[in-house]
Structure 1
Amino acid sequence: MHRRTLFAALAAPALFPAAGRAQGTWPDRPIRFVVPFAPGGTTDIMARVLAPRMTAGLGVSVVVENRGGAGGTVGHEIVVRAPADGYTIMLGHIGTLGVNPSLYPRLSFDPVEGVAPVSMVALVPNILAVHPRVPARNLQELLAIARQRPGELTYGSAGNGSAAHIAAAALGHAAGVDWTHVPYRGSGPMANDLVAGQIDFTMTGGTVVMPLVRDGRLRALGVSSAQRMRAAPEIPTIAEQGVPGFETTQWYCVVTTAGVPAPVIARLNAEVRRAMTDAEVQARLAAEGAEAAPGTPEELGRTIRAEVARWADVVRRTGMRAE
C-alpha cells in the first residue's frame, strides 16, 4: 500500500491552563495520537492527515502511534487508561466506538464512558470490491454465487469489529446470504491478500481500495452510501442493486480520555476543525471518496450514543461475533 502525501502546516498555538497545574500552558510536550489499527488503513490515513496540521497549530509534536489488536480494543484501552491531561488522543471510528461495546461485551474498560468526545473528522462510504478472479460484475451476481455456495466466499477486514467486518456482515444479513469473515491485523495486510487472491472480496473505505480499483487490481461492485460517490459516480450503490435502504457509512472521530478539562478539549476541537475545513484537505479526502465532517464534542457524543444503540441491534440480529 502506498502512503498518502501529507499536508503542510498552518495555525499558531493558543494557551490554556494545564490540568492540575497552577502555572504553565497546555500543551507543553508531545501528544500521543493512538491509531488502534495497523498502518495502511483508513484510520491510519486519517490520523496522518490530521497529525501534521495539529502539530503546527498546537506548537508541539502530535505523534501517530499504531497500536492494533483485538478489533481496536488494545489501542482504545490505552486511551481510556491514560492520565486525563489531553496528551493522549485516539482516532476512533464506527467500529471502536459504535460496534465494539456490543461485539466485546466483557471488556475490562468502558469503551464509551471512558473517553471524551473531541470532534467528528470524516465520513467514508464503504466500497464492495472483489478480486478479478471472482466472476461477479455486479452485486446481484455476487449474491447469486453466495447463494449457490453458502459460506464459501471469503471477505477480509482490518479485524473483528472493523468497518469492513461490520459492513459485510450487515450486507450478508440484509441480502440473506452467508459468507466467511477473515480478520486481519489492519487494512494494509488485508488489501495485500485480496490483491493476491487469498480472499474474495472486502467492503471497506475508498481510501484503501480505490487506488487498487483504479489500477485494475480490484473490481468495485457497489458503494454503501445512500447516494453514489462524487469521486466515482460509475459505482452504483448497494441500495439501487436490490438491497433497498441499505447504508453503512464509516465515520471517524477524535476522542481523548474521560475527565480531560473542557478548555483542553475545546483547544483540541479547534485544531481538528481547523485541519478538516482546510480546502486542500477536503479536496484530497473527496478524491478518495471521503467527506470532511468536523463538529462539536456534543454532536459527536450524540452520534456515538446513537450508533451504539443501532449496532447493538445489528450485532444481535446478525449474530456477528469476535472470532
Structure 2
Amino acid sequence: MTTRRALAALALGTLAAPAVLAQPAWPRRPVRMLVGFAPGGFTDIVARGIAEQYASAFGQPFVIENRSGASGTLAADAVAKANPDGSTLLFGHSTPNAVAAALFTNLPYDPLRDFTPVAQVAVHPHLLVVPASSPHRTTESLIAAAKAQAGAVSYASSGIGSVHHLACEMLAKAAGVQLTHVPYRGSAPAMADLIAGRVDMTIDGVSAVAPQIADGKLRPLAAGTLARIARYPDLTTLREQGYGDIDAMSWVGVFGPPGLAPEIVQALSQATDRAMQAPGLQRVLEGGGSIPADRRGAAFRDFIAAEIDRYKAVLGDGRIPVT
C-alpha cells in the first residue's frame, strides 16, 4: 500500500511539474510603478494606461505610486536606489530623467548610470501660444517686442526646469533676446494667467493648449517641434521660422533600477510593443496629442544621452540646488 501511494504521489508530481515550470520567473508578485508627479496629470494618466496593459500581459497588478516633488526627482531617486529584482519600476519623464542632469547641482542620481532604460512610450509635442487678446499674431512680432525692450515680454511655465521653461529659454537664445520667466506651481495656474493676459506667452504641450485654442482663448504662433504637428499641419515650426533647431517636447517611458535583469527588460519591452496596439492606450495618447514612441533598451538610452547634452547646452551643468 505504501509503495502504491508513493508511486501515485510521484506520478502526480510528474504531471504537475510542467505547470510549475511554465510559471513565469517574473513577476511573482505585484509590481510598483512610481510616478514623480501628482495624480490626474498627463504623465499619471499614461502611466496608468500602460500599467493596465502590463497587468493584463503578466497576470500581476502593476500598482501606480505617485511620489511627487522636486520636479519628479524624488520618485526617480527612489527607483535608482531600489532592488533590481523587478518589483519596482519608474514611469519616467524627460524632466527627472534628462533635464535634471543639466539643471540641478546636487542631483542624487545619474540619469544614465543609475537606471535601466526599458521603453519610451510617448513623445508630447509643444506649441508657442499667446493669449487671444495679444497684439502679436506672429512669432516675428513677439520677438520684435522683446528686442525693443529687454525683459518686456514674459512667459509662463509650470516651474523652474519644466519643458516650458527650457523651450522658452531656447527661443530667447536663438532669437538673441531676454524674456522674463514667470514660474508657477503647476500648469493650471500658469495657463489661467496666460489666458487672462497677465503673461505674454508660453510653449506648452498639445494636451494643455488645444482646448484653449479651440475655445478661442489662445492663439498658436508656431509648432515647437522640429516637425509639424499632425493636429495643426498648417502651423509652421520655430525652425521653419528661422529660430534654430528647437525641439520643444516632453516624453515619458519605463525605467528599472540599475542592473535590472535583461530577461525582465526584454519581457517589458515586448509587453510595451503589444500595449501600444491596445485601443485603450491609443485613445489615451491620441487624446493628449502625443506621438507613440518605439525606442527600446539601448536606443532609448542613446536618446536620453543626446537629450542631456541638448539641455546642458542651454542650461550649463547644474545651477540650481534640488529642494
Q: What range describes the TM-score normalised by the shorter chain of this pair?
A: 0.7 to 0.9
Amino acid at match of 2:181: H
Asked if the contact 2:88/2:256 (under 8 Å) is kept, the reply is yes
Instruction: Please list, as runs of the form range in 1=range in 2, the aligned pairs for 1:1-323 lying within 5 A after superposition.
Output: 15-17=23-25, 25-29=26-30, 31-278=31-278, 281-282=281-282, 285-286=285-286, 288-316=288-316
Q: Give the corresponding residue for 1:20.
A: none
In the alignment, the residues of structure 1 paired with residue 74 and residue 137 of structure 2 have an alpha-carbon distance, to the nearest angstrom, of 38
- Please report how far the alpha carbon of residue 131 of structure 1 lies from its aligned counterpart in structure 2 after TM superposition: 2.1
Q: Give the corresponding residue for 1:10.
A: none
Q: 1:42 to 1:166 in 2, by over 3 A?
A: farther
In the alignment, the residues of structure 2 paired with residue 262 and residue 51 of structure 1 have an alpha-carbon distance, to the nearest angstrom, of 20
**Alignment coverage as a number of residue pairs:** 301
Over aligned residue pairs, what C-alpha RMSD do you find? 2.7
In the alignment, the residues of structure 1 paired with residue 243 and residue 321 of structure 2 have an alpha-carbon distance, to the nearest angstrom, of 26
Asked if the contact 2:137/2:221 (under 8 Å) is kept, the reply is yes
- Please report how far the alpha carbon of residue 40 of structure 1 lies from its aligned counterpart in structure 2 after TM superposition: 4.8
- Please report how far the alpha carbon of residue 41 of structure 1 lies from its aligned counterpart in structure 2 after TM superposition: 4.1
Larger Rg: 2
In the alignment, the residues of structure 2 paired with residue 54 and residue 196 of structure 1 have an alpha-carbon distance, to the nearest angstrom, of 42
Amino acid at match of 1:211: P
Amino acid at match of 1:274: R
In the alignment, the residues of structure 2 paired with residue 322 and residue 164 of structure 1 have an alpha-carbon distance, to the nearest angstrom, of 19
Asked if the contact 1:277/1:292 (under 8 Å) is kept, the reply is no
Asked if the contact 1:122/1:293 (under 8 Å) is kept, the reply is yes
Amino acid at match of 2:66: N
Q: 1:277 to 1:180 in 2, by over 3 A?
A: farther
Asked if the contact 1:15/1:26 (under 8 Å) is kept, the reply is no
Asked if the contact 1:125/1:225 (under 8 Å) is kept, the reply is yes
- Please report how far the alpha carbon of residue 283 of structure 1 lies from its aligned counterpart in structure 2 after TM superposition: 5.9
1:207-235 CA distance string (max 9 Å, x none) = 22212211222221111222221211132
TM-score normalised by structure 2 residue count: 0.82
Gaps of 5+ in 2: 1-21
- Please report how far the alpha carbon of residue 164 of structure 1 lies from its aligned counterpart in structure 2 after TM superposition: 1.3
Asked if the contact 1:128/1:222 (under 8 Å) is kept, the reply is yes
Higher helix share: 2
SS at match of 2:143: helix
Amino acid at match of 2:175: A
SS at match of 2:54: helix
Amino acid at match of 1:143: I
In the alignment, the residues of structure 1 paired with residue 181 and residue 65 of structure 2 have an alpha-carbon distance, to the nearest angstrom, of 27
Q: 1:41 to 1:155 in 2, by over 3 A?
A: farther
1:129-176 CA distance string (max 9 Å, x none) = 222232211211111222233223332223322221221111111111
Identity %: 35
Asked if the contact 1:99/1:308 (under 8 Å) is kept, the reply is yes
Amino acid at match of 1:113: R
SS at match of 1:245: coil
In the alignment, the residues of structure 2 paired with residue 37 and residue 120 of structure 1 have an alpha-carbon distance, to the nearest angstrom, of 17
Asked if the contact 1:42/1:208 (under 8 Å) is kept, the reply is no
In the alignment, the residues of structure 2 paired with residue 59 and residue 190 of structure 1 have an alpha-carbon distance, to the nearest angstrom, of 41
Gaps of 5+ in 1: 1-13, 18-24
Asked if the contact 2:154/2:180 (under 8 Å) is kept, the reply is yes
Asked if the contact 1:140/1:242 (under 8 Å) is kept, the reply is no
